[in-house]
Amino acid sequence: MMDMIVAIIQPSKLEDVKQALVAVGIQGMTVTGSKGFGRQKGHPMAFLGLYDLEGRPFKVDFLPKVRLEIVVPSERTDLIVNTIVQTAQTGKIGDGKVFVMPVTKAVRIRTGEQDEFALSMEEEAAAK
């Protein structure tokens, strides 16, 4: 069994989270920039002198975030989720979320290896 972990975090936490995940054995992840909003509902921008046509502060509804995607064997899911949460947490609104979804199949395109074998880099390292 495998799980996909999707974490939405603050961009400023990306390097710390990456280092912490590498320290617990993560050998790869996908990272994309994203924008979104949650309870913080964006930021009023009046301090920049930005107002709408009715004189209200312009509001940025979507805030920059980083999306991490990692597929791991299910027995490692809790460790990886806990590592992300502990490293990305600031205690302020907007820290992000982590989602876990089951993965039914994985294939390494180059070799055709499947499932957990497609996730591991051990055989590749031995071949070098």
pLDDT in tens, 33-56: 998 877 766 665 555 566 777 877
**Residues 6 or more apart from 83 whose CB is under 8 A from it?**
17, 20, 21, 24
Per-residue pLDDT tens digits for 6-38: 999 999 999 999 999 999 999 999 999 998 877
**Placement of tokens 């999707």 in the chain:** 6
- pLDDT at position 80: 98
On whether the pTM is more than 0.85, the answer is no
CATH assignment of the domain containing 43: 3.30.70.120
- The length of the chain is 128
Question: If you write DSSP's letter for every residue of 46-101 in order, what string do you get?
Answer: GGGT-B-TTSPBPEE--EEEEEEEEEEEGGGHHHHHHHHHHHH--SSTT-EEEEEE
Q: Which range marks the domain in which residue 103 is found?
A: 2-127
Domain count, the chain: 1
